Structure 1
Amino acid sequence: MTAASRLLRHAHLSLAGGLLLASPITAQAADLIPHRAVYALSLDGSKAAKRVTDADGEIVYEIRGSACAGYSVKLRQRTDLDTDGDGDMSNDLTTTTWEDAQANTYRFRITNSVGDDKSDDTDGVAERKGNTLAVKLSKPDVASFNAGSDIVLPTQHIAKMLAAAQQGDATLEARVFDGSPDGRKVYDTLSIIGKGTRDQNGVEAPLAGLAAHARYPVTVSYFEHGGKTDTPDYIISFDLYDNGVSRALKLDYGDFVLRGTLTAYEELPAEPCPK
């Protein structure tokens, strides 16, 4: 496997790490907008890239559901890299997840392929058992294990993040399980949260209708739990609106950085909770 393909393999859930941070949260924490967003990917020039000379691709992100019934999230990320010495590389990542409103149950299905290689498939469910998280996998192999205690799921993570932002806290530490890349890893995360703004300067035209919503600049570093290095596996930056919409994505894989520019945004029909 070439160096560039390894980079793409390790990208796994760039958006499960990122846009899933814009995933649903409990009704008590915020009111999330079901929506579909499309982002164009390109190589970010703010940091010198190693072995990667150009990049393009697309992210399509869709969230549906309600605060009472839970939310489903579908994401597809296609990435094409031009590399120095390794030729062209392509990565196709698809994730489908569902999390209940209480963050007690999390279902995940991930398909990740690089070039013509056979895809890496992950399929499983995580359930809260007291203070611990029990995981059952059907792919890549059949297994059951305890992922540990004091672990938050993606919805809980964003709930804590928005709560911290609204309280003026600048940092948030959390141990997160999102199912990536093989259903077994837990990540220690550090979020740096900036001050909220409603300034429309530079905001993409499709998001003009969100002018009344505050957004917060967020940078999240992911470290493999129990790892032997202080270097994060990857870093994701984005503007997070208080209704769960994200813009200005930046996906830092260490050797190269991708920028995600929003090109389309569509609100989807709300699914009200039954009375």
Structure 2
Amino acid sequence: MRRITAKLLLTLVCVSVGAPSATATPAAEPLLPHKAVYALSLGNLSASSSVVEAAGRFEFEWSDVCDGWAVNQRFRIALLYEEGLTVSFGWSLSSWESKDGGRYRFFIRRFDDAGESQDVRGDAELGPDGSGTAVFHDPERREVALPAGTLFPTRHTLYVLENAVSDATSTWALVFDGSGDEGLFGVSAALSRRLPPGAPPPLPNPLLRDVPSWRVNLAFYGAEAASVEPEQEQGLRLFANGVVDEMSLDYGDFVLTSELLELSPLPAPDCGGRF
């Protein structure tokens, strides 16, 4: 079974050819700071899978905090196996990313049903040439070199939206979000189909009404890309305002599917003319 890791929902895709520049062309639709709540359940199974049932919840908040974007995620899942064993675990993630895409801070807490947890905390910065360094402070101090062209999660989302608008069909990027062993991984993405404004979403909501969206298929690889098999695959529907729906998370032996239960806007910050 592929390992379940705390891949950020905002980690999507990048430009089709070469590394992105420091400046970005605005997406056609303004990003929507929002809170979304998803129910997780069991989807497809492989013939060798011993998982018989799954249930969970995923909460996601994406906020504008004047000098950057703040993301908070909470994920919890329980898996029931054929022999009657139930395993539950989850993670929470809080992060901040500067609006110029050059700085990033993160705090991840992983936990299991035995009450044990592990905290991961760090920050990262990119220089003028697009390369940089990530520093993990907990559970132990260590540094990870970030190659030129590395993206942080929100900058990554902006690029997928720009490429979606320009009808790009496939992309590759290195992304750092702090999850996994090194926090750095490659993302291959395919934009398979554009849905016109007004195409009905599963959750009727005025925030999604008349907003274009795209089908996106993602594959996550180790940063060295030595393996031909991805660590994880995802499918989702991405709206032009940054909202995600219809997620499927493929872990090899089984697939988790999601249902968007709640979607609400978050208030705009009072920046007082500082930014």
Calculate the TM-score normalised by the size of structure 2. 0.87
What's the counterpart of residue 239 of structure 1?
237
1:34 is matched with 33
Deviations for 1:139-196, whole angstroms, at most 9, x for unmatched residues? 12012342332211112211221111111111111111111124x2421111101232
Q: How does 1:97-108 map to 2 (within 5 A)?
A: 97-108=95-106
User: Could you tell me whether the CA contact under 8 Å between 1:176 and 1:186 is conserved in 2?
Assistant: yes
Aligned to 2:17: none
Quote how far apart the aligned CAs of 1:21 are.
4.1
2:171 and 2:189 in contact (8 A); partners too? yes
Q: Percent identity?
A: 27
Match of 2:135 in 1: 136
Alignment of 1:209-248 (within 5 A): 209-248=207-246
What amino acid sits opposite 2:145 in the alignment?
N
1:214·1:241 contact (CA, 8 Å) conserved in 2? yes
Per-residue Cα deviation, 1:125-151 (whole angstroms, up to 9, x for no partner): 001123312111111201234233221
2:6 aligns with one of 13, 21, 45: 13
How many residues are aligned here?
262
- Give, in whole Å, the separation in 2 of the partners of 1:26 and 1:268: 24
Alignment check: 8 A CA contact 1:109 1:121 kept: yes
Query: Is the counterpart of residue 173 in structure 1 residue 172 in structure 2?
Result: yes
Aligned mates of 2:197, 2:152 — CA distance in 1: 31
Letter in 1 for 2:171: L
In 2, distance between residues paired with 1:141 and 1:228?
A: 26
Which deviates more, 74-83 or 225-234? 225-234
Residue identity matched to 1:106 = Y
Rounded Cα–Cα distance in structure 1 between residues aligned with 2:50 and 2:224: 29
Secondary structure of residue in 1 paired with 2:226: coil
Read off the aligned partner of 1:194 and give its amino acid letter. S
Aligned mates of 1:198, 1:271 — CA distance in 2 = 31
Tell me the equivalent position of 2:187: 189
Q: Is the 8 A contact 1:96 1:109 kept in 2?
A: yes
- Structure-2 change in CA distance of 1:20 and 1:61 (3 Å): farther
Question: Equivalent residue of 1:138, what SS?
Answer: strand
**Contact 2:56–2:75 at 8 Å: present in 1 too?**
yes
CA shift for structure 1 position 97: 0.7
Q: The residue matched to 1:195 in structure 2 has which SS?
A: strand
How far apart in 1 are the matches of 2:265 and 2:45? 32
Higher deviation after alignment, 91-100 or 108-117 = 108-117
- Separation in 2, partners of 1:272, 1:215: 30
Residues 1-275 of structure 1 mapped to structure 2, 5 A cutoff: 10-14=3-7, 16=8, 18-21=9-12, 28-29=26-27, 31-45=30-44, 50-65=49-64, 68-85=66-83, 87-116=85-114, 118-130=116-128, 131-182=130-181, 184-198=182-196, 200-271=198-269, 274-275=272-273
TM-superposed deviation, 1:11: 1.2
Distance 1:47 1:203 in 2: 28
Q: Partner letter of residue 254 of structure 2?
A: F
* RMSD of aligned residue pairs (Cα, Å): 2.4
Q: Distance in 1 between matches of 2:169 and 2:225?
A: 25
Q: Following the alignment from structure 1 to structure 2, what is the Cα–Cα distance between the partners of residues 89 and 32?
A: 37
User: What CA distance in whole angstroms lies between the structure 1 residues aligned with 2:51 and 2:211?
Assistant: 37
Counterpart contact for 2:11–2:175, Cα < 8 Å: no
